[in-house]
Structure formats: structure tokens, C-alpha cells
A = this chain, B = another copy of it.
Amino acid sequence: MSPVLNLAFAALSDPTRREIVQQLAKGAARVTDLAQPFDMSFNAVSKHVKVLERAGLVRRTRAGREHHIALDPEPIRRIAGWASRYERFWSDRLDKLEAFLKANRKRD
């Protein structure tokens, strides 16, 4: 039972939250900025950010009335580490994984 993985996997199971993570990969942003592309209420996005925060996927720094949200890649790293355990099921050599990773940098 790994609470980190439980929360990280659960947080990333929602496509809206994965889009937010993707957004944050380009740099930190305010909640308003993150909410802007979505066709849902600001409050809904605010909740999503809170879920990501609770899972440790993002960090929040307050600057006046604005909250700066930044990606913390550690849980994703943990997920990559977890997934790597099954890497032998799709190839025996890490350079094959490397090739796969390279080919999949853009897609969702």
C-alpha cells in the first residue's frame, strides 16, 4: 500500500487533471490561467488543482491574491519507476524502451 502511488494514479486518471499537468509542463501558472481553456466552472478547476496538490503533483505558492501552481514531477517519477518493473514484459533491453519513449513524447 503506497499512498503516494494511490493518490498520484487516482489524480492522473482524470483527463482534465492530465491536461492541467500538461499545461504546467510549460511553466507555473495561476489557477485562473489553468481554468481558462476548460468548459467548466472556475470552481471545478480549483478543485482539480487541489486534488493534484494533495497528490503531490503540484506545489502552490501564494503571492498576494494570486496562487502560483507549479509542477512537482516527483510522483510522476514514482509512477515511471513503478511502470518500469513491467518493462521486461514488452522488451528485454532498455534501449528498446528508450526508443519507445522517444516516439511517444507528444501524444496524450
Contacts and interface: CB of A to CB of B under 8 A. Distances in A.
A5 B83 contact: no
A49 B41 CA distance: 36
A-side interface size class: 35 or more
A76 interface: yes
Interface string A55-86: 00000000000000001011011011111111
- Copy total for this chain: 2
B85 A83 contact: no
A108 interface: yes
Contacts of A82: 18, 104, 108
Contact of A73 (B5, B12, B86): B86
Nearest to A100: B81
